Amino acid sequence: MSEQTEILGRRVGSELLTWLYRIVLSVVVPVVFFIVMRAGFIWLRRGNANQVLIAAVAILWGIGGFAMLYVIANSIVEQLPDEWKSALLPFVFVGPALAILSWYLVMPVVRSLVNSFQDAAAESFVGLDNYVYAFTERVMLEAFRNNVLWLVLGTSVTVALGLLIAVLADRTVGPFETAVKSLIFLPMAISFIGAGVIWRFMYAFRPAGTAQVGVLNAIRVALGGEPVGWLTIAPTNTLLMIVVLIWMQTGFAMVILSAALKGVPQELLEAGRIDGANEVQIFFRIMIPYIQGSIVTVSTSILLLTLKIFDIVWAMTGGQFSTSVIGTVFWRQMFTFRHNGRASAIAMVLLVLVIPVMWYNLQQLEQEAF
């Protein structure tokens, strides 16, 4: 019995020592190396040499430094017995990534969570006051309402339109399919801020009797109507901004769903036609169920985008005229009113809303992979 206990104790001690080495490799070594790297960058920044030369040396220092990190850590592990080597070697490569993710993702979340229970200056504890503000203030309720509009309309119309165009492009344009799809996908190359500025000109308003630079008002005036301030009328302004998202993301949905449609076996389609199904029935009863995973993936990706929407609204209205979303309220609290507590609480609310969608998306991707 004592011998078994001794063996068990040795095994536990060996496992603990293995995990200790893993922690050293994945945390301590990268941290020490990052400190050395940072000291080198500070020394370069304070130098009086030519700026181009300093930049070149900094790039070489950064790339060479990370290469040396892997070489040194790998050489240390290679000297260990095979059992230890197989257990520790993966952490040589995972360690720096874990350290970077922890520093740039985990630590900001923890700091934001702590700040969400503090006052504007993040100096004193205020309990749940910031969260009460996040769920009761008029501007936040308005932001939640608008985000729901973005979620429902933006996602559903984008996915439906992308699917429709994918089907039509595959069946009607023939040799011009690539060119047509490229034109539809082209808005994806534009930033959200750039798209917001472009469409702001589309909706631009000038007083009656003056030249209209906005396309919508120019058409309206040409037809005998009066110009309208489209971006000042709620909730029409929110709907018009959702059009910008649809214009940008339809190409993304089309490309993914078109690739999925091409993967539908022709044998299934022919079997459906032989059984007397028409093209509409084949589409809804064979093609849609077959590409359901791709539809869910595209939908959740656009859901994440609409939850975090900010750029389009900020570029077109700045969140005014009842168009505010969670992102614009956060921006004003953080950078206009300088209220760190409320801004952090809003950020945590947004994080809680995003996490389930991300988790579901990852689950779908994992199921498709296996």
Q: Are 316 and 231 in contact (CB under 8 A)?
A: yes
Q: Give the span between the Cα atoms of 319 and 201, in whole angstroms.
A: 17
Backbone phi and psi for residue 34, each to the nearest 5 degrees, phi listed first: -65, -35
Cis peptide leading into residue 90 (ω within 30°): no
Is a pLDDT exceeding 80 seen at residue 51? no
Quote the tokens at residue 357: 């969608």
Assign 101 a pLDDT band (cuts: 50, 70, 90): confident
At 360 the pLDDT is 82
Higher pLDDT, 321 or 56: 321
Average pLDDT on 81-86 reads 70
At 154 the pLDDT is 94
Q: What is the DSSP code (8-state) at residue 210?
A: S
Class of the domain covering 130-369: mainly alpha
At 152 the pLDDT is 94
The closest of 92, 80, 89 to 29, measured between CA atoms, is 92
Q: Tokens 């490799």 — which residue? A: 25
Quote the tokens at residue 170: 């595959």
**Lowest mean pLDDT: which of 44-48, 56-60, 269-273, 292-296?**
44-48
Radius of gyration of the chain from its Cα atoms, rounded to whole angstroms: 28
Provide DSSP, 136-197.
HSHHHHHHHHHHHHIIIIIHHHHHHHHHHHHHHHHHHSGGGHHHHHHHHHGGGGS-HHHHHH
The tally of CA atoms less than 13 A away on the side-chain side of residue 204 is: 15
Q: Are 344 and 327 in contact (CB under 8 A)?
A: no
> What global pTM score does this model have?
0.78
Is a pLDDT exceeding 70 seen at residue 9? no
At 2 the pLDDT is 60
Domain residue ranges in the chain: 2-115, 130-369
Quote the tokens at residue 292: 């359901």
At 26 the pLDDT is 59
Average pLDDT on 310-336 reads 93
Q: What is the mean pLDDT of the chain?
A: 84
